[in-house]
Amino acid sequence: MDSADELLKRVEQLNDIGASLSKERDITRLLERILLAAKTITNADGGTLYRMKEDGQSLRFEMLRTDSLHMAMGGTSGSAISFPDLPLRDETGAPNDSLVAAYAAIHVETVNIVDAYTEPDFDFSGTRLFDQRTGYRSQSFLAVPMKNHEDQVIGVLQLINAQAPGTLEVVPFSSADQSLAESLASQAAIALSNRLLMTQLEELFESFIHVINLAIDEKSPYTGGHCQRVPVLTMLLAEAAAETMEGPLASFAMDERDRYELKIAGLLHDCGKIATPVHVVDKSTKLETLFDRVHLIDTRFEVLKRDAELNALRQQLALRPCVDPQGEAAAMAAVRETIEALDADRDFLRVTNIGGEAMNEAAIERVRQISRQHVWRDVKGVETEFLSADELENLCIRAGTLTLAERDTINQHIVTTIKMLEQLPWPTHLKNVPEYACGHHERMDGKGYPRGLTRDQMSVQARVMGIADIFEALTATDRPYKPGMKLSQAMGIMHKLKNIGHIDPDLFDIFWQKDVYKRYAEQFLDPSQIDEVKL
């Protein structure tokens, strides 16, 4: 029997164990801690932890430890458990009371056995076979059901061969052992239930995020991949930064919670695009709205060509009475020249409509000249300019395919993202998600949007996400308005952005020197995009 001091010491140990269990976030490590703690507090040589299966009809071996046999299976041991599940009922549906662990789970009752070999009420044939194979002698058993806060059995702790303190002598589990094991099982069940509930809530939350991204993807297949790739690249760069032991980022570190927080921010960084009009997001050419209006301009050119041919034919008919072959030939030559000029203007507008990195002043002036020089009548027969004001504005876009108004609409997505994320009651370990997610369009020099933050006003995580967002956009192959850049071109642009104060220079150095861009490229880029990079 334990002395009062020894019992007090074990109770204090139980309290310490309970506190440590409540802090463990990893399910596997939590289960392992539970089993090892139960063995320690009862001084047991061996132990097995069973989990109730989802159907509630059997117990699954979760992990097994036997110190004297140096046996470790399940958990973090790296050795899988091949034992079959323990059914709670037999073929007839009757309770499987012959197995100790099953009995404890079925009747929600602790079973304390002095010697398995002399116990008449339970079937220990499997235990005897195990002993024969290993030379072990299974003697005292303690099977304790684990109940959650809803009084449901979620597992069983089974301990084997209690040992007298300071010796290897096998003794029965005392009443104090049983009480402590039951208290531990209760604490462990609550800790496990809480962790499982947290895991389920996290999975539900992440699934909800993926549903939002799926909705964005359904609206536009050109952004769904972006929402998935940016978080991956963000984590690659953040991990590389955390591993850096020297330089300006030597003090930057992340624990498991920090990683999860950044991952969630990455997944949500563009959630505001759910409110962005799809025709703006998907605008692949300058004249595209719900459809590409360049085809309307094609039609106008065809009408002009038809009108030119009709005018030539009228001239030919007018010359018929005087039979003037030279006049007819001149008329046809003139119309051919007109048609060639119209085709040239149409081809030019088609190319212009595609958009690009830069449109020079001469090209813009030619668009305006085409609009002025061709006589066009609208559906009411009123003579008007060949290109409408909106068409002219779009075709004169200097870079890309978006007008200033459309860029403002696209940029509004980050404002919407901020509004969405700041509405949520974030728990403490996720409180920085809005700041991380909403800073990826800011610049180090304060010229970004929406808040015009400078580098010193931003977290490292937000600056990481800014680099990930830009690099993904440069190399993405699923955008409607441009092909994905080669690595050398994209990294060249990133290097320029570093030099002009757009992106964080220290993080870019890590991005470059630690080959983060290469690891991302190998995972997501087409092989044809991967070339040698020299900066």
DSSP letter for each residue of 309-355: HHHHHHHHHHHGGGT-HHHHHHHHHHHHHHHHHHHHHHHHHHHHHH-
255 inside domain: yes
382 inside domain: yes
Whether the ω angle into residue 527 lies within 30 degrees of 0, i.e. cis, is no
What pLDDT shows up at residue 133? Answer: 92
What pLDDT shows up at residue 289? Answer: 66
Same domain? 520 vs 424: yes
Mean pLDDT, residues 81-104: 91
Using the CB atoms, write b or e for 33-49: b if 16+ within 10 Å.
Answer: bbbbbbbebbbbbbbbb
Q: Is the dihedral of CA 329, 331, 332, 336 positive or negative?
A: positive
**Which pTM was predicted?**
0.64
In the chain, % helix, strand, coil (3-state, to 5) comes to: 55, 10, 35
State how far the Cα of 99 lies from the Cα of 109, in Å rounded to an integer.
Answer: 13
CA distances from 525 to 134, 203, 229, 397, 422 (A): 54, 29, 11, 29, 34
Same domain? 159 vs 247: no
Same domain? 151 vs 239: no
Residue 88 — very low, low, confident or very high, per pLDDT cuts 50/70/90?
very high
Q: What is the dihedral of CA 162, 166, 168, 171, to 10 degrees?
A: -30
441 inside domain: yes
Same domain? 363 vs 475: no
CATH number at residue 471: 1.10.3210.10
Total domains, the chain: 3
Give the domain extent around 520. 220-281+406-529
Mean pLDDT, residues 220-243: 86
pLDDT of 221 over the 90 cut: no
Query: What are 491-515's pLDDT values in tens digits?
Result: 999 999 999 999 999 999 999 999 9
Same domain? 390 vs 445: no
Same domain? 436 vs 519: yes
pLDDT of 284 over the 70 cut: no
320 inside domain: yes
Mean pLDDT, residues 211-227: 72
**Phi and psi of 98, rounded to 5°?**
-80, -20
CATH number at residue 159: 3.30.450.40
Same domain? 188 vs 248: no
The mean-pLDDT minimum among 316-320, 400-404, 454-458 falls in 316-320
206 inside domain: no
Q: Token digits for 334? A: 């003139």
Q: What is the dihedral of CA 130, 135, 139, 140, to 10 degrees?
A: -80
The residues, any chain, with a CB within 8 Å of residue 216's CB and separated by 6 or more, are: 223, 224, 227, 270, 271, 273, 274
Same domain? 443 vs 501: yes
23 inside domain: yes
328 inside domain: yes
| Residues 441 and 411: beta-carbon distance below 8 Å | yes
- For the chain, the residue count is 535
Same domain? 431 vs 504: yes
393 inside domain: yes
What pLDDT shows up at residue 435? Answer: 93
